[in-house]
Structure 1
Amino acid sequence: MSTSDLLALRIRQLMKKPDDIAQAASLLKKTRFRSKEIFERCYERRLRREVYKPGDLVLVCNKAVEQSADRKHHLRYLGPFQVVRQTKGGSYVVSELDGAIWRQGVVAFRLLPFISREQVEELNWMDEDEDDEDEEDLEDVDWNEDEISSSSSTDEDQEEDL
């Protein structure tokens, strides 16, 4: 190859450089957004955070226990506490039930909603109502004993064939 051919190749490469950079940037942008969508889909439950309103009762994760060796023997959550407000950074200011405010804020991922016994009983009543509806649906079914006995006899016949 002559020097003029090498210079011509280099000039073509330099002329293509902005197009190549734009193409690489668009490909990078597309793959990053695709990766972000996949991440959000996989970790959807972990990324979703509840927003607690002032007055809500919450439990606070006991961080000191989580890092200790004998964590099985201690309470993992402290509380219940009452949410006072949410700060600009997203953490929460909580107070004891008697109104004494904690000195430090609590990050959102360390909070769990407090479910009182009354709420648990209400949930149990709702589950029992659904079970009763299922039983009523079964009572409405017309059970034909001949079909049931014939299906059981075919099962016995199949076992004999084996």
Structure 2
Amino acid sequence: YEALGYGYGPGIGEGYDRTILILSRASGVPVAANALAYGASLAKGNLKEIAKTEFEKANKAGLKDILKGLTKDSKKASDSDEEVAAPPKEVVTGSISGIDIMDLEDAVKALWKEKIYAESGMGCTGPIVLVNEDKVAKATEILAKVGFVAKEGDPC
């Protein structure tokens, strides 16, 4: 039972025409009341117009070019059909996030191809690939190279 908070959101994105806030099943009456008040203040404050103006400014400043450098490349669909044997099992406590749920098993296979043992899992914020702590950096590099995770980008 969530007794404190304002729910989740708002979801803000370029071209969004609606203000969406989310309550979880665990949200109690105080959270629901706060979420309604918060939603009303967003409407009164003209969130949609402010977001539109801010996205226009950000795009003029080069936001889209920055984002292009941070997004993952398209991976080859044909790679996913290939059978790959798992390397010897090892302790996997390191996690790599940012992989689409639909690509998770293919990402694991991509690491197996490179002789890195990996497992798929679900973290607090979404899908993760689990690898040995000592191999997180190398595994992330491999996954970026084959297009499963975003490469390091230049934020400026």
TM-score, with structure 1 as normaliser: 0.25
Higher relative contact order (CA 8 A, sep 6+): 2
* Larger Rg computed on CA atoms: 1
Q: Name the one with the larger helix percent.
A: 1
- TM-score, length-scaled by structure 2: 0.26
